Amino acid sequence: MAAERQAWWTPEPLRSQILTEYNVTLDAAACVQSRLVPQYLGLDHEDARYRDSLAPDVDWGQLAGPSGWTYLNPPYLPIPLLSGMLAKAAASAAAGSPVIGLVPASVTTRWFTTHITDAGARVRFVRGRVKFTGPFANGGSAPWGVALVEWPAG
């Protein structure tokens, strides 16, 4: 349950904004209750093949389809999991399948620099503080900033 305890869900109106702006067909880190779209990857998936989005044989692009975007609001901890998901987002886009992410705006971290800045992703900082939802969010505004990160198809 440790992974779930830091699972803050994307709140409205960000959820609507993302679904309006992008043809999201896969949520790469979710649970059945929090997924943005019906197709998701997550620990509680009924099909064991779709429980780990970092599994080498889980191809985000193939699941998202030719004109689809993958959405990623990754777990923040442990850092190698967060970093691995961002790396897979950049790789998926480079291989032709775009990804839109909602990511902590921690611009000095190695994972942000490597997989977002150096990867040439488009960053839009979200104004103000975001009130994440879900059973583990505390109802208040998150004390960190977030950014919408777009990894376009390479």
Ligand X SMILES: C[S@@+](CC[C@H](N)C(=O)[O-])C[C@H]1O[C@@H](n2cnc3c(N)ncnc32)[C@H](O)[C@@H]1O
The residues that touch ligand X, with contacts defined as CB under 6 A, are 3-4, 7-10, 27, 29-31, 34-36, 41-43, 52-54, 73, 75
The DSSP output letter for 11 is: P
Residue number with CB closer to ligand X (103 or 121): 103
Q: Report, in Å, the least distance between residue 117 CB and ligand X.
A: 21
**Beta strands of the chain (E only): which ranges?**
24-27, 69-72, 99-104, 122-125, 146-151
Q: How many Cα atoms within 13 Å fall on the side-chain side of residue 18?
A: 29
- Cβ closest to ligand X, residue 71 vs residue 93: 71
Q: How far is the CB of 96 from ligand X (least distance, A)?
A: 21
Smallest separation (angstroms) from ligand X to the CB of 140: 16
- CB nearer to ligand X: pick between 118 and 124: 124
Return the number of the residue (30 or 148) whose C-beta is nearest ligand X: 30
Question: Which residue, among 71, 13, 67, has the nearest Cα to 42 in the 3D structure?
Answer: 71
Residue 14 backbone phi and psi in degrees, to 5: -60, -40
